[in-house]
Amino acid sequence: MERYDGKVVVITGASEGIGAALAEEVGRRGAHVVLAARTQGKLVEVGGRIGNHALVVPTDVTVRADVERLRDEAIAKLGHVDVWVNNVGRAISKPLLALTDEDVDTVVRDNVKSALYGMQAIVPHLVERGEGTIANVSSMLGRVPFAPFRSMYSAAKAALNSLTETLRAELREKAPRVRVVTVLPGVVATNFGLNALHGGPDSRTLPNAQDVGEAARAIADGLLSRNGDLFTRAGADKVALGYLEGLAKS
C-alpha cells in the first residue's frame, strides 16, 4: 500500500462518488487533500471525515479561471502540489443519432475541457518541481464503447484518453519524473448514473458494479508510481486488449 505522508493531493469532483472516496483514502494514508467541486456543503462533509489534512476550495472546473484559482490557492496554502486528479465527469443517456449540439457541447465541456484546464494549470508547476503526478479519470467506455446509450460519453472519454497520452509523450523527455496517468474504472457503485444528462440507471443497482472504496484503493495504489493506464478492476486490461484485437481481425 502506497503511503502519502506529507503529499499534497488535489482532487476535483471530490464531493461524492469516486472523488470523495479517493480523497478519504489518500487522507487515511497521510496526504494533505485539496477538495474541489461546486457544492461547498458536500465538500465540507467530506473534509470533516478526513480531518485537519483537508482543504476545501469550491471550484467550477468548467471555468478556466476557477481551475487556475484552485491551483493558486493549493500552492499558496500548502506550498506545492504533488498529485492532481482531474475527476470531474458526467454521463449522457442518448443514442448517437439522437444527439443534439447542446448534448455534445455539454459532455465535451464536462469531460474534456474541464480536464484540459486542469492539465494546463498544473503541469507547468509539476515540470518546474521536476516530479509529480497528473491523473485523468476516464472510463472503460473510452477504451471499449460497448454501451450505445452512452454514445457521446464514450467519445468524450476517448478524447480525454488521447489528450492524456499526448501529454505523456510531451513530457517523456523533458520531465520524465512527472507521471501522467489515465484512470479507467468500469461501472462503480455510485450515483453517477442518476446524475447523467437525460437521466439513467442507478449505477449502484447494476450487476457487478465495483465498490467505490475498492476503486479508490486501486487508484491510490498507483498514483505515486504508475505512468500509463491504471485500471481499477483486475482483468479489465485484458478486456480492453481483447476488444482492440477483435477490431484488428474484423
Annotated catalytic residues are: 153
- Could you tell me if 66 and 157 are in contact, meaning their C-beta atoms sit under 8 angstroms apart? no
Backbone angles phi, psi at 19, to 5 degrees: -60, -45
Q: At what angle do helices 151-174 and 114-129 cross, to 10 degrees?
A: 20
Report d(CA 82, CA 122) in Å as an integer. 10
Residue 175's contacts (CB-CB under 8 Å, 6 or more residues apart) are 126, 127, 130
Query: What are the grid coordinates assigned to 220, written together?
Result: 491510490
Question: What single string gives the DSSP state of each residue in 27-55?
Answer: HHTT-EEEEEES-HHHHHHHHHHH-TTEE
| In the block, residue with C-alpha cell 498529485 | 83
The per-type count for the chain, helices as H runs and strands as E runs, is 8, 7
Checking DSSP bridges between strand 8-12 and strand 32-37, what pairing results, if any?
parallel
Say what the alpha-carbon torsion angle 234, 238, 243, 245 is, to the nearest 10 degrees. 170
